Every structure is written in C-alpha cells, then in structure tokens.
Structure 1
Amino acid sequence: MSERELKVTELGHRGDGIAQTETGPVFVAGALPGETVRAEVVDGRAKKPVIETRSPDRIEPLCRHIKTCGGCSVQHLAEQPYLAWKRDLVVKALGDRGIETEVGDTIAATEGGRRRAVLTATRAGRTPLLGYHEKASHKLVDISECPVLDPAIVSALPGLKKLAAAVLPKKGELRLTVLATTAGLDVAIDKADKTYDRKIPALSQMVMELGFSRLSVNGEVILEVRPPLLDMAGVGIVAAPGGFTQATVAAEEALSKLVLDGAGKARNVADLFSGVGTFALRLARTANVHAVEGDAAALAAFDKALRKPQGLKKVTFERRDLSRRPLVRDELEPFDTVVFDPPRVGAQAQAEQLALSKVKTIIAVSCNPATLARDLRILIDGGYVLQSVTPVDQFHYSPHIEAVAVLTRE
C-alpha cells in the first residue's frame, strides 16, 4: 500500500490528529492541527506517520517514554492550545446534546503532580517491570520517570518495583495504587500472589526501609507505620487502601471552590456520590450536609474523620447505591442545594429524580463530558437553567477532563 499525504485539521477527543479524506476521517497519532504528514493508511489510521510540515504549537515532549507509554497523548502540544482543546471536549459533548452555552476557560490544576498513581507490574522472563501499558496494547512500559506524577512517587519507583516483585504472581499482572499523603506514600497492591502471607515479615521490613506510611495487599492492611492522612480543608482523612481521591491537590481545591461558589449561602445540602467527603466537609463549614455514598470503605473513612470535633454544622450520611436507588423527589424536598459527583457512567437515574424536584440549586461535577451532557440535558428538560460550566484539568497531557456545572430552578 502506497503512502498518502494527509492534512491534519483537528484534534480528536483521544488526542489523535484527524485528517479528512475522500474515504473518511483518518486518525494520525501524534499529529497536530495544521500539520501535513505522509503515511500509509490502514483501517482509517495512519501507520508510522512522518511529519512533513510542523505546527507552530508543537513542543518537545518532557518524558523519554512518550513514544511507547500510553499514559500521555498530547505532551507535544503547547499549553494554551492544549487548554483550549480540553475546553472544546466539553463544548462538543454539550453540543451533541443540543446544549448551547458559554463554557469557561479551562482551569489548569496540575501543579505539584498527580498524587495518586495506578501502576501495573509484571515479569518479562525473570525481570520485573513496573509502569503503564502502551496505547491500545497489553505490553507494559517499564518507566523510570513520569513528569505528571508527584516527585515523591517518582523517586520511589525503584522501591515500588522491588515491593511489587516480591508478590508478583507466576503469571499475569498485579496492580499497585500509590497515594502521596502528608505521612508518606500509601501503597495498595491488588492481584498479588496468593502466597503473599508467607512474606509478611519481609514485606513489613521493606516498607519500613522505604519509608512508606502503609502497605495493603489484596485488601488486607499488612502494616501501617503512620496513618496516611489527606488534608481536606483542615480535616484529616485516612482514605481507604486504594480508594478514590482527586488526582491532584490543586484540582481538589479548584473543584471545591467551584462547588462552594455554586452553593453560595445554601443552608441544607445533599452531597451525592460523596466519596470520603471531599465536598461535604467543606460545605459543612456553613451548611447542614447529608452525604450519600455507595462505597462502604469511603463512608468509613468519612465517619472516622467526623468523630473528631471539626467545628462543622450538622453532618449526616448514609450508604446507598444511587445508580440503582436514587434519592426520589420527596427525599430531596429538605435540600435547597444538591451536589453530585458520580463515576464516569454518570448519574442518569439521580438526574431524572432531580428533574422532578424543587431543589433550587444543583451542582454537577463530572470526569466524563459525555455523561455530564446527558445528565444536564435531563435537568434542563426538567426546567433547570444552566448558569455556568467550568472545565478543570487535573489529568495533564491526557484526554480526560473534569467539569463543574451549576444549574438553578427559577
């Protein structure tokens, strides 16, 4: 198959350049709008593209693993067009649902690096590997650096690999979730070899030598040297091993400010899909808050934090799967404001109930523009007015984007 000249006109939602041709769009990995490339085309994708005309927005990538690692897709794009692309991801998702509204500029919230990393470990022969998968591949890239991570995690990579190697199964991979906390790194290993319990003394010694705060293996806490605390607006939270947290401190603060600004002088707030209380604890400084979360471990961490005097208003919570059993209209009656921050699948069932309610203000937080747009469409069709949408970037160089939307009912 002969090579073709391709003119890239846009950047797709996964970070690939897109060239429009007479036979349809061609996706060109690593290319930017305005660039001309030459490549063979197979099944709508450019194979081994060679850039003939470079975009003025192209910059040199920071990481030596950029050509193989599947973690970063747009490290070669300059900051301002990069942030504009992130904003456009939200604009296009809303447009697909017929929502025409002003979308704010993207807030860059990646300072200090990502405090939470999910790494994979396996063996190549007798050699342990630790890192990320290649794009669209099961092949693992053994990383020695990562510019998007907290420096504390990067410097610990050799020790983390040693720890993972000690409990690697004979076949397959294990997952290692690392969280940088105020007390050191919290490490949770999943899919470890079932005989790991025979190595607990050695693992404990390793954790002590590496200076980690806690180690968990297959859901069991092996050793806690120091409680791995997260500071959430002055409230100390010990997250569950491997549990969800916002990826960067800067993003957590940016998202929280948008939520608090949206809530204004709310008196009674429901925080749905509340996790460990990222928003609930901040909202409770000035409002009564009812937090609802389906994950038992997250609620246990939230409960433990509440047992210490914090100077908060009334805070209550319940465990509930809101995807299957959302708060219905009558249950929403006591609240003047509702915040919801669901997983990537969104909150369709809860949005349908909110659309029937009389809640004055709704604040939607989402890591998926497509499901956010769907949920906003439900609320708008139910009579809510979209007041603002603000993208927040905490997954630097990736195609992921957070957004906060504020709606009101007249």
Structure 2
Amino acid sequence: MSTVHVTINRLGAQGDGVANGEDGPVYVPYALPGETLAIARNGDHGTVMSTGNLSPDRIEPVCRHFGPDGDACGGCSLQHLAKAPYNDFKRQLVIDALKSKGLTPDVKETVECHPGERRRTVFSARKTEKELLLGYNRAETNHIISIVECPIAAPGIVARLDAIRAIGMALATGSETFRISVLESLSGLDIAAEGLKPLSDKQRRKVTETVLALKGIARVSANGEIVLEPQKPVIDFGGVKVSPPPGSFTQATKEAEEAMATLVHGHMGKAKRVLDLFAGSGTFALRLARTARVHAVESDDKALKALDHAARNSQGLKPVSIEKRDLFRRPLIPMDLKHFDAVVFDPPRAGAEVQVKELARSNIKTIAAVSCNPLTLARDLRILVDAGYRIVSVTPVDQFLWSPHVEAVALLSKV
C-alpha cells in the first residue's frame, strides 16, 4: 500500500470517484470529480487520507451512517453529491449502457427519487448475546452496521425499527446472519425473514406473543411460510388492491412505480390485447386492464395467484388471464404472440434475452421494456432494433436513492 496524490476525473458506475493512474484507473469511494486527494492506494482501490480542492457539487450528507467512517452502513454511495449532478449521473449510466451497444436514442431526464419514499427495504440481522443487530452491511464486508435512522426508507418503517428488532429477536435461533424484508403496506408492515433455521413451536409462540403486543404489523413470515397474519398486507396497483405473497417482489417506491406505469400505459395507446411478461403480482397488468384485455405471464405461482385474485375481485377491469411459465426456459414464440397488439416486459436483472429474440420475430407493433439493469436492457434493445423496432424514448427512473442503481423504461414501436 502506498500514499499518492490524485485528481478525480469522473464517477464510476458504482458511484466511486475515478482517478486516472499511470497503470490504470483507481477507484476512490466518497470522492467527486475535480477533487484533489491524498489516498492510500491498494491496487486499483484508494482510501482518502486527506483532501485538497473539494468539488462545488459536494454537499453535506443527511445520514449519520454515511461516509468512510467505521459506522458507515454501505447502503448509500452518493449522499454527498448535489441533486442536479446526481440526476445527471443516473441518466448517464443509461446513456453509456445504450452507447455500448451502438444505441443513441432520446434519453429523457431522470425521474427523481426523494427521501422517505422507500416502502420496501431489506435489512441484515444477527442475534448477539445482548441484542439483535439490524441494519445494512458495511461496504464490501459482512459486518452489520446496526442503524438508528435511514433517510431513504419510509417514515413508517423507520419509526418501527424497535418493533422489527423485537420480531427479529423472536425469530432468531443462533448467531447466523439472516435477512429481514420489510414492506410498508396499506394495512401494516409485512415482515419476511429469510435464511433462518426451521422455527420450533416455542419460537412460533414467542413470535405470536411479540406481534400481538405490537401495533401495525400485518404479517410475519419465515422462509416463505406465514407465521402470523393479523391482517393481509395490501398494496395498491392503480386503484386495484393486491395482497402479495410473503417476501415477493414489489417496486421499491410507489412513486417510481406510478411513473413507470404511466409511461407504459401511455405507450399502449388503443391496444385491445396486451401481453405482460414477468408480470409479478400485477404491477402493470392490473393497471393496463382498465383499458385492455391482458394476459399475464409469470413463473412465480404465488405471485400469479395474488394477481388473479385481485383481478377477479376488482370492478372496472377488462378480462385478465394468467399463465405460469418460465420465460427463460420456455419463451413465448411468434405463434403465441400473434394475438396481441402490445407487450410490456419487466424481467429480473439478467434481462429477457431469450424472450426478446422471439419478440423480435413477431409482428407486435408496440413494446414497453422496463429494466433495473441498463446493461441487459441495452443488450435486449439492440436485438429489437436489429429486427426493425424503433426506440421512441428511454426514461431513467430513480427509485434507489443515493445508490448506483437506476431503473429505465424504454418504449419501442415498429411500422
């Protein structure tokens, strides 16, 4: 390890400052472009030792758990960057990913995310002799920083940290680390623990006693199994009430979800039959069913059943059909696709390459692609563009505040 003086040239894809060293880039966490620093260099990684010129874009972080100090949780990497350059950084991530595949479409301004909007968060937890550590892992380590605040999370979650700790303590058996997902639903917190040993009857009683002594807890589950459900967790998809299965995927913020749904719905136009691929519990399908017949395809049986139940018990919707199918192994082929006017797909981070290749062979005129990974989105869009589709627009949507992650909605059409 050596001490060197560097100037930060740009932000890297993970939010680190990047200095151009003689033998390659050096990544310096919490540094910003234009800053001159003395760093302790270890390979391509640098730790700030002292600062010279600081960037005019540097602002004061809002959370005590942010920064290079020992109690930094590692959950945020960009709290110190002013809003305008921060939004530009998110947009540039999408532009750079598209450019890597030779694509230069119209990329809109970033749809902003704000503090306190995160309705779903995943904590790391571990039982010690005295307490339950509940928080996030320090960057690049398995060390849990037990938090007392989290400005990105919904106030309804932050205000119940003690209650979440009490439930986690009742669930924990040994000293192994496990995860606690918390969703703020309309009917209370939905708490889903994963990575635990099977619960004993004694533990179940303890969890029940703990939850019944608290208020505002809708459901507690362990490893996908419901332990206690005082009332079903409910979320709202455009006026349609859905009870998602334990620990299932939901968009992290309602505001980002609504922004993406508005873009998708607007692009569907007067489509009569819409296909929703990787449909989950119905984020897009149930909204689209206000104006079109929808066929929802999803591999998760429990999520699909939640979607189906919501559709069957809601008024004012066009018919919604469902299909359980692994689209990575069995994509819909052109013969399956010929009955639809438009498609929306929102796959996991790996993207939808196998399915997109079949979409490229279809005659569907309208496609909306939603992605949490600009790189796999760019790959998938390249396939569609090569098949004759035109990218109408791409909109970055920030729902992971102060992180290097960004969603994007790409709208495509074919003449």
5+ residue gaps, structure 2, are: none
Q: How many Å apart are 1:2 and its aligned residue? A: 4.2
Which secondary structure does the structure 2 equivalent of 1:46 belong to? strand
1 CA distance for matches of 2:128 and 2:3? 35
Deviation larger for 37-46 or 161-170 = 161-170
In structure 1, the partner of 2:194 is 190
- One-letter amino acid of the counterpart of residue 54, structure 1: L
Q: 1:196 to 1:77 in 2, by over 3 A?
A: farther
Select the residue among 103, 118, 127 that pairs with 1:114: 118
Deviation larger for 238-247 or 215-224 = 215-224
In structure 2, the partner of 1:153 is 157
Matched, 1:389 2:394: yes
What are the residue-to-residue correspondences of 1:352-371 with 2, within 5 Å?
352-371=357-376
Matched, 1:201 2:205: yes
- One-letter amino acid of the counterpart of residue 336, structure 2: E
1 CA distance for matches of 2:409 and 2:189? 29
In structure 1, the partner of 2:64 is 64
What are the residue-to-residue correspondences of 1:208-357 with 2, within 5 Å?
208-211=212-215, 212-357=217-362
Q: How many Å apart are 1:168 and its aligned residue? A: 1.6
Matched, 1:33 2:43: no
Select the residue among 69, 80, 84 that pairs with 1:80: 84
Deviations 1:97-150 (A, max 9, x none): 111122100001446421011111113454320111111101111111100001
2 CA distance for matches of 1:263 and 1:281? 14
In structure 2, the partner of 1:163 is 167
User: Conserved in 1, the CA contact under 8 Å of 2:74 and 2:136?
Assistant: yes
Identity of aligned residues (%): 49
In structure 1, the partner of 2:147 is 143
2 CA distance for matches of 1:220 and 1:165? 18
User: Conserved in 1, the CA contact under 8 Å of 2:37 and 2:48?
Assistant: no
User: Conserved in 2, the CA contact under 8 Å of 1:110 and 1:250?
Assistant: no
Deviation larger for 117-126 or 239-248 = 117-126
In structure 1, the partner of 2:3 is 3
Matched, 1:24 2:46: no
User: Given the two structures, how large is their TM-score scaled by the length of structure 2?
Assistant: 0.96
Please give the root-mean-square deviation of Cα atoms over the aligned residues, in Å: 1.3
2 CA distance for matches of 1:294 and 1:287? 22
In structure 1, the partner of 2:185 is 181
Which secondary structure does the structure 2 equivalent of 1:163 belong to? helix
1 CA distance for matches of 2:118 and 2:106? 29
2 CA distance for matches of 1:53 and 1:202? 56
Aligned length: 410
User: Conserved in 2, the CA contact under 8 Å of 1:111 and 1:250?
Assistant: no
Which secondary structure does the structure 1 equivalent of 2:52 belong to? strand
1 CA distance for matches of 2:13 and 2:299? 30
- One-letter amino acid of the counterpart of residue 18, structure 1: V
Deviations 1:134-170 (A, max 9, x none): 1110111111110000111101111111211122231
Which segments of structure 1 move beyond 6 Å, counting only runs of 4 or more?
none
Which secondary structure does the structure 2 equivalent of 1:199 belong to? helix
Q: How many Å apart are 1:204 and its aligned residue? A: 1.3
User: Given the two structures, how large is their TM-score scaled by the length of structure 1?
Assistant: 0.97
Which secondary structure does the structure 1 equivalent of 2:213 belong to? helix
Q: How many Å apart are 1:70 and its aligned residue? A: 1.3
